Amino acid sequence: MGEVIRFVSKSERERARLIQEARAIYDSIFPPADPAGDGQDKATGRAFGRGNGSHLA
């Protein structure tokens, strides 16, 4: 009953798709060093939310 539906524009969906595609291409060229993948960039310590798309959806 308390379900919230969020409008996502066509351009925002396309942007998310292009980012996902670019990440896949990047990973195919530069495979992650850690196959388990903790989701953090070792050099900067910043976390990258792979797969959850929370900032895009």
- What pLDDT is attached to residue 38? 57
- What pLDDT is attached to residue 19? 98
- What pLDDT is attached to residue 47? 55
Per-residue model confidence as pLDDT tens digits over 3-57: 999 999 999 999 999 999 999 999 999 998 866 655 555 555 555 554 545 444 4
Per the confidence metrics, is the pTM higher than 0.85? no
At 40, is the secondary structure helix, strand, or coil?
strand
At 48, is the secondary structure helix, strand, or coil?
coil
- What pLDDT is attached to residue 41? 56
- What pLDDT is attached to residue 33? 83
Q: Which residue bears the tokens 């910043």?
A: 46
